[in-house]
Chains A and B, each alone.
Chain A
């Protein structure tokens, strides 16, 4: 009974704002300094990515989408080739320059095409954040819905949904992507006014978004199966609550915490899967960049120029970390039972 009364944000209108559940949540969140800090970090990452053109044009004076294989830059006052040829031994191989730590000249060094990695990293953030965020959003929203329906209604509904989830999970995504990219080489999909070519980021968003639905749906389903039998649910049914009310007030809030935790993790997985899809020519295409594609570029430079692959990896890690902590903060703030926190 206490549960049904406490988890009632829909009754907000009756209460003065400071004492309302939302107001309480907001105050709790604002007091969580770590969460706020991480929110700041995330906002900073987004802003930096949006500022990519400014950095490339005004600070680094480079075009990160054009190959500069024979280009030159200034390092420590001297003009050097961006990709100098080896001079030692047999003189074979050509290695791009490494990080110069000079914001105006190839801060993180050059990649195999002689492009400025730092500038590409900022541009890449836009694509990665967009794709990662929306793919994770699709996965989490659809996965929650599907998982709740399967777990709550059980029976044949659950049977059918679970089989479909298994088909999706066992589906050979890479085969699909390879074949799709070959099909889309010279033509685009046309859905009425919408034209989707292989370079459209709608493709990776949809593909990744759908393929990971089981990753959210199965855990949610499992939780709902467990929740269905709990005391407060039985109590609510005893009080005559309708099924929708039950779903809204009791099941969803509990499930929401699982999904809040999964969201940033799915986003990380999405950003990395995007790299694999780009490699197969679905999504971000050369010369565009995403953190995943830069990691791919760095794959052939792991031994000689590890910064190229490390930088975007750390960017992904930082973003995911920020969202994780922020997610924890939001969940703690919304949790009506969180009065007993910090006690061990």
Chain B
């Protein structure tokens, strides 16, 4: 296997119920180089997602070595609800109406790798019920952006002409999404800039209110399979810590009513999981309506392995179960 970008090298001995005898990890290759090595049989797996310009290549010539797995995760765009222009609900909703989720999916790799979404909870998550108000025909699923409605909302909000800076990680896909968002914001009448920052601080930097980040591109992957991992951790009042680098509620969203309901759901979950999930579905709708973020899509995970790897199994929590695969 080949991995990136830390320095250590180690090997693990066989586990009783696994098939591998030894795992060697090596670091430092670019993602392009990793794909090439796997194609050449010089490596067995790569940690990173394959870069977008190799997707077609591996999807056609090496299709049997590509494993696409569903993920409980989402790409979203938190908007700072405490700073203009996104302290205005109409402005936030306008952006959500205007964003063409298909365009962002195209940047990510196409409709076979991602599904458009408007809400917080990803598909397949406990408590998830399809809900999408920010589209041409509001209902359960997203179909197309509604630019006219978006422009009307911007006008009603009175925020047109304001300066907006879109922050994102500087890797290719995140940056491309940010540039696309800039284009949409400019279309809506804002004066938008893009600020890609190093991937190593793109998670901490927007969290600190001192940095006054208005809007940034983020991903969130499940830590544990419960709705609170998405709704409470990302949008609960207690997750918001002004002036700290550890404030996951990047939108600074704190709605007393919704928060109270979240606390209730957390309590109920201890005894009655089903009832709690129903409550979380409701909370999902409430948060989505308040639009502290623009949800883009639910991504799938691409694993590109070498020819000799067999018995590939995937778990949504631990991803590729290395020990259960074998090589011949």
Which chain A residues have a beta carbon within 8 Å of chain B's beta carbons? Answer: 65-67, 69-70, 83, 85-86, 88-95, 112-113, 178, 181-182, 185-186, 198-199, 279, 281, 285-287, 300-304
Q: Which of B53, B106, B205 contacts A303 (CB 8 A)?
A: B53
* Top 10 A-B residue pairs of the complex, sorted by shortest distance between their CB atoms: A93-B55, A89-B60, A93-B56, A69-B103, A67-B183, A90-B59, A92-B59, A86-B56, A89-B59, A88-B60
B214 to chain A, nearest CB (A): 9
> Within the complex, what minimum Cβ distance (angstroms) separates A196 from chain B?
15
> Within the assembled complex, what's the spacing in Å between the Cα atoms of A225 and B273?
85
Q: Which residues of B contact A181 (CB under 8 A)?
A: 195, 197
Q: Which of B68, B176, B196 contacts A112 (CB 8 A)?
A: B176
> Do A92 and B112 have beta carbons less than 8 Å apart?
yes
CB contacts (< 8 Å) of A285 on chain B: these are 193-194
- The CA-CA distance from A43 to B112 in the complex, in Å, is 49
Given A92-B302, A94-B106, A94-B110, also A300-B53 (CB < 8 A): yes
- Contact A67-B57, Cβ < 8 Å, known A93-B52, A287-B182: no
Q: Which of A91, A112, A281, A302 contacts B110 (CB 8 A)?
A: A91
A301, B55: Cα distance in complex, Å = 12
Interface residues on B, range: 35 or more
Given A85-B110, A92-B112, A70–B59 Cβ distance below 8 Å? Answer: no
Minimum CB–CB distance for B152 against chain A, Å = 20
Contact bitstring B90-116, A, C-beta under 8 A = 1, else 0: 000000000010110011011111000
B165 at the interface (CB under 8 A from A): yes
A300 close to B59 (CB less than 8 A): no
Q: Are B103 and A67 in contact (CB under 8 A)?
A: yes
Known: A90-B59, A92-B302, A281-B196. A85 touches B106 (CB 8 A): yes
Inter-subunit contact B60/A286 (CB<8 Å) = no
The verdict on B315 contacting chain A, using a C-beta distance below 8 Å, is: no
Which residues of B have CB within 8 Å of A286? 178-179, 182, 194
A90 touches B194 (CB 8 A): no
Chain A residues lying within 8 Å of B201, measured Cβ to Cβ, are 182
Complex formed: what's the CA distance from A69 to B194 in Å?
17
Cβ A70 vs Cβ B103 within 8 A: yes
* Shortest CB distance B249–A (Å): 20
Interface residues of B (CB under 8 A from A): 51-61, 63, 66, 68, 100, 102-103, 106-107, 109-113, 165, 167, 170, 172, 176, 178-180, 182-184, 186-187, 193-198, 201, 205, 211-213, 302
Partner of A89, one of B63, B102, B213: B63
Please, could you name 9 A-B residue pairs with CB atoms under 8 Å apart, sorted by A? A85-B111, A86-B59, A88-B59, A92-B58, A92-B68, A92-B302, A182-B201, A185-B213, A186-B165
Query: How far in angstroms is the closest Cβ of chain A from B112?
Result: 5
Check B111 against A113 for contact (C-beta < 8 Å). no
Q: Are B56 and A88 in contact (CB under 8 A)?
A: yes
Which residues of chain A come closer than 8 Å to B176, judged between CB atoms?
Answer: 112-113
**What is the distance, in angstroms, from A284's C-beta to the closest C-beta of chain B?**
12
Across-interface contacts of B57 in A (CB, < 8 A): 93, 303
Task: For the complex formed, measure the closest distance between the CB of A308 and the CB atoms of chain B, giving whole angstroms.
Answer: 11
A-chain residues with CB within 8 Å of residue B63 when the two chains form the complex: 89-90
Given contacts A89-B60, A92-B112, A303-B57, 8 further A-B contacts (CB under 8 A): A67-B103, A67-B184, A69-B180, A86-B59, A86-B110, A93-B52, A112-B52, A300-B172
The listed residue with most A CB atoms (<10 A of its CB), out of B58, B193, B211, B213, is B193
Complex interface: chain B residues within 8 A of A112 (CB) = 52, 107, 176
Contact assessment for A92 and B110 in the assembled complex, using a CB-CB cutoff below 8 Å: yes
Check B194 against A92 for contact (C-beta < 8 Å): no
Q: Closest CB of chain A to B317's CB: distance in Å? A: 24
> Which of B68, B106, B107, B172 has the most chain A CB within a 10 Å cutoff?
B106
Cα of A185 to Cα of B68 in the assembled complex, Å: 37
Residue contact B196 to A66, C-beta cutoff 8 Å: no
Across the interface, which residues of B come within 8 angstroms of A178, CB to CB?
198
Q: How far is the CA of A186 from the CA of B182 in the complex (A)?
A: 16
Residues of B within 8 A of A89 (CB): 56, 59-61, 63
Residue contact A92 to B56, C-beta cutoff 8 Å: yes
The CA-CA distance from A124 to B52 in the complex, in Å, is 25
Chain B residue contacts of A69, Cβ below 8 A: 100, 102-103, 106-107, 180
**Cα distance, A278 to B143, chains bound together (Å):** 36
B212 touches A186 (CB 8 A): yes
Are A67 and B59 in contact, CB atoms less than 8 angstroms apart? no
Report how far A172 CA is from B51 CA in the complex, Å: 29
Q: Which of A69, A178, A281, A301 has the most CB of B within 10 A?
A: A69
Minimum C-beta distance from A83 to chain B (A): 6
Query: What's the nearest-Cβ distance from chain B to residue A84, in Å?
Result: 9
Q: How far is the CA of A219 from the CA of B57 in the complex (A)?
A: 49
On chain B, the residues within 8 Å of A300 by CB distance are 51-53, 172
Q: Considering the chains assembled together, what is the distance between the CA atoms of A86 and B179 in angstroms?
A: 22
Task: Choose one: A67, A91, A301; the contact of B112 (CB below 8 Å).
Answer: A91
Q: Is the CB of B59 within 8 A of A66?
A: no
Distance in angstroms from A138 CB to nearest chain B CB is 26
A89 to B55, CA, bound (A): 10
